[in-house]
Structure 1
Amino acid sequence: MKLRIAIIIICIVLMLMVTSVIDSFNHNETDIPEKVDVIIMLGGGDKGRMEKAAELYHEGYADYVIITPESKDIYPQSTEFAVELGIPEDAIIKEYEATSTYTNAVESFKIMDEYSFDSALVVTSDYHLKRSKLIYDRVSDGQYDLKYIAALSEDGEKWNERSYSDRIWFSEFYKLWGYWLGLYNFIDEPDTE
């Protein structure tokens, strides 16, 4: 009897592990963009994220773009690059505090509340989309209408076409597990003041 229970538990654990690994290769289920109050461009990655945010801005999906975090030192997430791509400086809302995907969400929602925004397109790299959606949905708790838009690399490559795709996969795999387990609360919790 105990052997049978042990075998069943081992089979369940193995099935969960296999399912988890298979699911980890599917990162880029992008939504169809629609008119919203603001576009949120998550910092990190290469120029592809800002290029996608600018494309959506020029197609009229929103009148404002939040850069989270904005950085003069990191060109792909700088106001300078956004302006170069044709986004007017008065349409850019700069956020300086975020240090992770979790704090991107927290800080973005503070800005959305400040501006009375109810909807947003969240733009990030294709490999980062699943984790961004997980945490933005969890932090927003249904308060905002959010759509998630995948950005390809600045060269137009999908994450799995890059020469270092194995490193991208592994990094997102363990970070996604950390986010599923709520470890972002211990790793990078923003000040509550």
Structure 2
Amino acid sequence: MKIRVLVIAACILLMLIVVSLIESFQHNYTDSPVESDVIVMLGGDGPHRMQKAAELYKEGYADKVIITPVIESDELSQSSALAMEYGIPEEALILEEDATSTYSNATETIELMEQFDMTSALIVTSDYHIKRSKYIFEKINEGRFDFRYIASYEEDDRWYEGPGAFYVWYSEYIKLWAYRLDIYRWSE
């Protein structure tokens, strides 16, 4: 009887692991943009995020752009200078300097949205980062704000096609589970 229970438990565990691994490859989610109060550009991962935020701004989806975190550096693609170079005027920028992780991107963004009396945002990030961003933004949001998640990538430059695809997958898999297990404050 004990062996049968152990075999059933092992099969269930194996099935959960397989489902978890299959689900981990699904990072191609993106919403269609709609008019919003603000565009939020999550810092990191090269110029694609800023380019997408500028594109959405120029198409009139929002009058303001939050850069979280803004880092005034020529090496990183999250500076106010780069935003202005891509066509976002200085008066449209809201610069957040304190975020150090996706979790703090979410908390700082929500705080700024409350401060500026905003109710909707387009969250712009890399395609591989959408799943984790959506998870934590929605968890912290608790239904107060309307968020849409916009992937920034070139059609021929998806996360799974690059030379570091395994690292990207592995890193996001671990971080997402750290978020799901509520240990995200220590995962990044």
Query: Normalised by the shorter chain, which TM-score bucket?
Result: over 0.9
**Once superposed, which parts of structure 1, at least 4 consecutive aligned residues long, lie more than 4 Å away?**
none
Matched with 1:62 is 62
Task: Output the CA distance in 2 between the equivalents of 1:5 and 1:151.
Answer: 47
Residue identity matched to 2:115: E
| 1:38-53 superposed matches below 5 A | 38-53=38-53
Given the alignment of the two structures, is residue 183 of structure 1 paired with residue 180 of structure 2, yes or no? no
Matched with 2:15 is 15
Query: Any unmatched runs of 5+ in structure 1?
Result: 189-193
Q: Quote the offset at 1:2 in angstroms.
A: 1.3
Q: Quote the offset at 1:156 in angstroms.
A: 4.8
Q: Quote the offset at 1:3 in angstroms.
A: 1.3
Q: Quote the offset at 1:17 in angstroms.
A: 0.4
Task: Output the CA distance in 2 between the equivalents of 1:38 and 1:156.
Answer: 28
**SS of residue in 2 equivalent to 1:146:** strand
Task: Output the CA distance in 2 between the equivalents of 1:182 and 1:39.
Answer: 27
Matched with 1:169 is 169
- CA gap of 1:187–1:18, structure 2 versus 1, over 3 A, is closer
**Contact 1:75–1:81 (CA<8 Å) still a contact in 2?**
no
Residue identity matched to 1:144: F
**Contact 2:178–2:187 (CA<8 Å) still a contact in 1?**
no
When the two structures are superposed, what TM-score results if normalisation uses the length of structure 1?
A: 0.93
Please identify, of 177-186 and 55-64, the stretch whose mean Cα deviation from structure 2 is larger. Answer: 177-186
Q: Quote the offset at 1:28 in angstroms.
A: 2.2
Residue identity matched to 2:165: S
| 1:128-139 superposed matches below 5 A | 128-139=129-140
Q: Quote the offset at 1:8 in angstroms.
A: 1.1
Query: Any unmatched runs of 5+ in structure 2?
Result: none
Q: Quote the offset at 1:49 in angstroms.
A: 0.3
| 1:15-164 superposed matches below 5 A | 15-73=15-73, 74-152=75-153, 156-164=156-164
CA RMSD of aligned residues (A): 1.3
Residue identity matched to 1:178: A
Q: Quote the offset at 1:184 in angstroms.
A: 1.6
Q: Quote the offset at 1:128 in angstroms.
A: 0.5
| Residue-by-residue CA offset, 1:7-53 (whole Å, 9 max, x unaligned) | 11111110110011111111120011100000000001110000000
User: How many residues in Structure 1 have an aligned counterpart in Structure 2?
Assistant: 187
Task: Output the CA distance in 2 between the equivalents of 1:183 and 1:111.
Answer: 24
Residue identity matched to 1:138: K
Task: Output the CA distance in 1 between the equivalents of 2:113 and 2:24.
Answer: 30
Matched with 1:191 is none
Q: Quote the offset at 1:186 in angstroms.
A: 4.5
| Residue-by-residue CA offset, 1:136-184 (whole Å, 9 max, x unaligned) | 000111110000001116x950001111111111111111111111112
**SS of residue in 2 equivalent to 1:178:** helix
Alignment identity in percent?
50
